[in-house]
Amino acid sequence: MIGKRLGDYTLVSLLATGGMARIYEGVDVRLGRHAAVKVLELASNSEDDTLPARFEREARAVAKLDHPNIITIFQYGEFQGALFIVMPLIRGRDLSQEFAQARKAKQLMDVHRGLRLLEQIASALDYAHSGGVIHRDIKPSNILIDGNDRAILTDFGLVFQPKEDPTLGTAFGTPRYIAPEQAVASDQATGKSDIYALAVILFEMLTGQTPFNGTSAMEIALAHINDMPPSPRSINPTIPESAEREIMKALSKDPANRHATALEMIQAVKTAIDPEGTAETRISAPTMHYPLWDDEPEPDLVAEAEPEETPKRRSPLIRILFLLLVITIVGAEIISVLVNSNNAPTTVGDPTLIIADSAVDFLPANVIYTSSEFSIINPNNTPLNIQTLEFQSGDVGFNLDSLRRVTLPPGMCIRIMLDGRSSPLPEGCNELLTQSVFADSSRFFWLLEAGFTVTRDGTLTATCPTAQRGTNTTCTLALPASPPPGI
């Protein structure tokens, strides 16, 4: 799509990919204005015939909303089998990135700044609800923060207007932020469902974690339906009791027991935390162990905290054993390479790296993965050919051709992430080429116990181990320089 003109806008770069559409940066050919262009390519989404209707409904719903903290629409249209929505390009961060930055520093986001941002979103939600519009996907990554520190609510892809149109398809929402009634049936969502999701974000802001986590979307949804959320003070004792009462009220299973409006909820918590309006608070980051402050926390799996001394006893031993194992394997493989270097394919290191005998120049590509993301990095000064590159573990796999990228430029990377997650670029990656977002971790081929294989043109390129919990796992691929000779 790069270089194509959609309406008044020429697409110049890909900004992000999601489960429903891709976001491009576009430039107005007449005014020179840069904008974000959300594109739904109909042919590529033919399995779900509700997507075009949902996409148009998103455009119509947002177009009738006029609020400073809700994204606006410049243009909507269709071009050669693609629907598109043009919106302002917000140059800044989203709230999930703010949370990730605080987590990396082992801190909480500044409480007063966070409450001010959520107060703006609460105002936007109350305005939308008054117009019969329910967002149904309130989460940190859908809250953008511009250069003036203004919060902007975006991504109305699951919007629901009960009085105007029925729900379409099986729109679910994001498990960690979904209200119980919406988890039961998406068409049962009301404005109180958005208030519940906003309360989950507030819970996360004050404790560093969401109330419910699990190994699958269904497990998390069932927890929202059946389980009582943990006490925020049990995680962070510095939260005032009165603030905890307001949060637990907003997280009530019964929508009727929640606050009447989103602003009422946020302002009640704000008063509880700072009753005199002095902008001072004694709320501090809780003392927690893995996974709360881990640099790469498990997105859908939160283990119960072990006694404080246990990690201290285990961690050094595990690391020493792992280091010895790596040294042993690498040493053995190097000896093997030296002994068997005559005409045979070259095998180096663990995981296995296979370089076929070819006149094409092969260069290394680094693969770094954790429990929540997967990155392919080009550390060379030459572009790499990534055509037909496939990753497979049992029945779960991923084909890079779906990203529509032929080459991986120097210093750039490709990432696969869980929807709603964000993190800094991995080491060695100076710029993100593109990324694919999955709704849940069921397609994370690198988490399966058997490890995964990497093939190119159907030929085995590497065999990589499964991701190790709480740390980066690496694998090296041998890829041809791009473009290879003859292409």
Task: Give the residue numbers annotated as catalytic, written as ranges.
Answer: 137
Report whether 151 contacts 118 (CB < 8 A). Answer: yes
Alpha carbon distance 148, 113 (integer Å): 12
Cβ atoms < 10 Å from Cβ of 116: 16
Query: Which contacts (CB < 8 Å, 24+ apart) does range 45-49 have?
Result: 45/20, 48/169
Alpha carbon distance 446, 189 (integer Å): 35
Sign of CA dihedral 127, 131, 137, 142: negative
SS3 196: helix
Radius of gyration of the chain from Cα atoms? 24
Alpha carbon distance 484, 486 (integer Å): 6
Cβ atoms < 10 Å from Cβ of 427: 12
Mention every residue, 6+ apart, whose C-beta is less than 8 A from residue 474: 366, 367, 368, 369
Pairing of strands 5-6, 82-88: unpaired
Angstrom CA distances, 25 to 7, 174, 464, stand at 13, 25, 35
Pairing of strands 412-418, 373-377: antiparallel
DSSP letter for each residue of 116-176: HHHHHHHHHHHHHHHTT-B-----GGGEEE-TT--EEE---TT-B-TTT----TT----GG
Pairing of strands 412-418, 431-438: parallel
Sign of CA dihedral 263, 185, 304, 141: negative
Cβ atoms < 10 Å from Cβ of 141: 22
CA angle (58 as vertex; 74, 260 as ends), nearest 5? 110
Mention every residue, 6+ apart, whose C-beta is less than 8 A from residue 292: 103, 208, 209, 286
Structure token digits, residue 330:
């690498």
Main-chain dihedrals φ then ψ at residue 464, nearest 5 degrees: -120, 150
